[in-house]
Amino acid sequence: MAYSDDISDLGADHHWKFDGDSTDVIGSANGTDTSIGHTGSAIAKDATVCATTNATGDRVSIPTTTTINNSAQARKAVAGWFSFSAVNQPFTRIYGEGDNTTNFQFCAGFGNVVTLEVRDGATWQIQVYTDRPLVVDRPYHLCAVLEGNAYGNEVRFYLDGVEQANAIPVDREPDDASLALRGVAEFGDPAGTVGLDGTALLMVAPVNGNYNHWCAWGDEADAVLTETEVRGTLFERGALADVTISTGTESAMQTALDVYADTVRSDTPCCIEIEAVSGGGDFTLDLDNITFNEKASIHVRYNGTADTLTLRNINGSDCSIVSAPFGGSLELRTEVTVKVTAKDAESGADVTGARVLLEADTGGDLAAGTNIISTATDGLGEASVTFDYSSDQPVTGRVRKGSSSTFYQTGTLGGLINSGGYDVTALMVKDE
């Protein structure tokens, strides 16, 4: 299903795809462009171009609309994709309704830190700030949700589907029924007086600011977007990926993925997307020594609509943020070492040839009794295997040496395999 359909399914009242024009593809609040470009590369899925404000006076004017600005709203949401192509030195307004006294606006400054301000005259005001400046040429999904005190009594601001907590007041509660009606919505340069904290402040259009898939919800139940809808649908399903592993055989896809072995993936909305395997079915791929930027919002996304992709971090890969928003499943595992070292309890000497049996206990992903190690210790007294870790796995086991002298009594093993693996020394007592 196309991303536009996702937005429609969430009940949006207005949707400006900005895919060549400023038309409202759901409602009728078509935008009027003032020097807007429509030739830049798309910054989200389901679009071929984006809208661009490439001068401080550029704007898209939205006609006054009940479900956007021209009514008091107890519930409301606005979301969309946006990117800067530079650190903007002047204060900019990405999107806004109203003026400096009553408004609902995304503003930016101070090195591309975005401020969501929702203000109702002198009655109440909430500012929420992104926890980081927006990186140049990196698309972000912005989403703001308002609920008056008859509902959730909260203003929420999501960046790439992650709720932002830096806010004044900290509780982000309007403690009021609704946001009063306000001036028309505009993308980019405000035509009238705007400001922050009730005071006029000159703001201009982002240069360059890029827009795709902005949408708005009026005062209705659909406006109360859930975290899953914001993150799982609006962000994860719309994010463009830096790398695409296209459908193929499992081995072909592994080969394609291995091209990125030993690389560092940058700060992007989605580093790698993996399509379904040819013919369907579950499949497994290894990430071989791939380092992911901690600020990237999705490390790997599985685009399959069914089946399970098992993804293994091997050789130091550190994928930790995964997504499967289109119906399939993704299981992330990390290769760890499980090792048992057998030593003589009296002398401390390594015991070679001791039989180690380690199996899953109850309480983990594996079925109790699943064999993990069943082998004899080597010349260093060690028995080890690699293990695909996904969550802590209780284990039980024993170690003995009864097949050749020196003989040792059976010892017990226990504990957990955790993200660091399992490394236990068994002190063995000679069997007299």
Burial of 389 (0-12, 13-18, 19+ CB in 10 A): buried
The minimum distance between CB 189 and another protein, in angstroms, equals: 11
Return the number of the residue (67 or 127) whose C-beta is nearest another protein.
127
The minimum distance between CB 387 and another protein, in angstroms, equals: 19
DSSP E strands: which ranges in 121-225? 124-129, 140-147, 154-159, 162-163, 166-168, 185-188, 195-196, 199-200, 209-217
The HSE-up count of residue 309 (CA atoms within 13 Å, CB side) is: 33
Return the number of the residue (405 or 412) whose C-beta is nearest another protein.
412
The minimum distance between CB 197 and another protein, in angstroms, equals: 4
Return the number of the residue (127 or 303) whose C-beta is nearest another protein.
127
Nearest residue to 227 (alpha-carbon basis) of 166, 162, 324, 170 = 162
- Residue 70 tokens read as 């021209």
Return the number of the residue (66 or 123) whose C-beta is nearest another protein.
123
Return the number of the residue (110 or 407) whose C-beta is nearest another protein.
110
Beta bridge partner(s), residue 338: 385, 422
Return the number of the residue (9 or 346) whose C-beta is nearest another protein.
346
* Sheet containing 408-417, strands listed edge to edge, beginning at the edge strand earlier in sequence: 371-376, 355-360, 393-401, 408-417
Return the number of the residue (30 or 56) whose C-beta is nearest another protein.
56
The minimum distance between CB 398 and another protein, in angstroms, equals: 10
Beta bridge partner(s), residue 305: none
Return the DSSP state at 280. -
DSSP three-state, residue 395 = strand
Burial of 192 (0-12, 13-18, 19+ CB in 10 A): exposed
The minimum distance between CB 418 and another protein, in angstroms, equals: 13
The minimum distance between CB 427 and another protein, in angstroms, equals: 5
Task: Yes or no: say if 119 and 69 are a contact pair by the CB < 8 Å rule.
Answer: no
Using CB under 8 A as the criterion, which residues of the chain lie in contact with another protein when the complex forms? 56, 86-91, 109-111, 113, 115, 125, 127, 129, 133, 166, 168, 195-199, 201-202, 204, 343, 345-348, 409, 411-412, 414-415, 424-427, 429
